[in-house]
Amino acid sequence: MMGGDAAMVVALADSLFFDIDLSAARTRVMLFLALSFAPFLFVAPLIGPMIDRIAGGRRFVIQMIGVVRAFLLVLMAKYIDALALFPLVFANLVLQKSYIVSKSALVPSTVRSETEHVEANSKLGLIAGLTGAVAVVPAGILLKLVGASATLIYGALIFGLAFASATRLPREVVAAEAADSDESARLHTPSVLNGALAMTMLRASVGFTFFHLAFWLRSQDSGTVWFGAVVGVSALVAMVGNAVAPRLRDRIREETMLIAALIVAAAAGLGTALLGGPAAAVVLAGSLNFVAALGRLSFESIVQRDAPEANQGRAFAQFETQFQLAWALAAFVAVAIQVSGPVGFVIVGVAASGTLVHLLVGLGSVGAVSRRPQRLPARRRRAAQAIRRRSRGPATGPGPRSRSGSASRRRR
Q: How many Cβ atoms from other residues are within 10 Å of residue 366's Cβ? A: 14
Dist. CA 197–CA 174, nearest whole Å: 25
Q: Which fold has domain 1-177?
A: Growth Hormone; Chain: A; (1.20.1250)
pLDDT of residue 17: 62
Cβ proximity of 213 and 272 under 8 Å? no
Collapsing DSSP to helix, strand or coil, 189 comes out as: coil
In the chain, the percentage of residues whose pLDDT exceeds 90 is 23
User: How far apart are the C-alpha atoms of 12 and 93, rounded to whole Å?
Assistant: 13
Q: Quote the CA–CA distance of 289 and 239 in Å, as a whole number.
A: 9
Residue 244 has pLDDT above 50, yes or no: yes
More confident site: 364 or 50: 50
Q: What are 117-174's pLDDT values in tens digits?
A: 777 878 888 888 888 888 888 988 998 898 889 999 999 999 999 999 999 887 777 7
Residue 71 has pLDDT above 50, yes or no: yes
pLDDT bracket for residue 363 (50, 70, 90): low
Residues 6+ apart with CB under 8 A from 291: 202, 241, 260, 261, 262, 264, 265
Domain with CATH 1.20.1250.20 in the chain: 186-370
CATH architecture of structural domain 186-370:
Up-down Bundle (1.20)
More confident site: 291 or 183: 291
- Angle subtended at Cα 239 by Cα 235 and Cα 245, rounded to the nearest 5 degrees: 140
Q: What is the pLDDT of residues 316-355, one digit of tens each?
A: 778 888 888 888 889 888 888 878 888 999 999 999 999 9
Cα–Cα distance between 316 and 293 in angstroms, integer?
A: 15
pTM above 0.75, yes or no: no
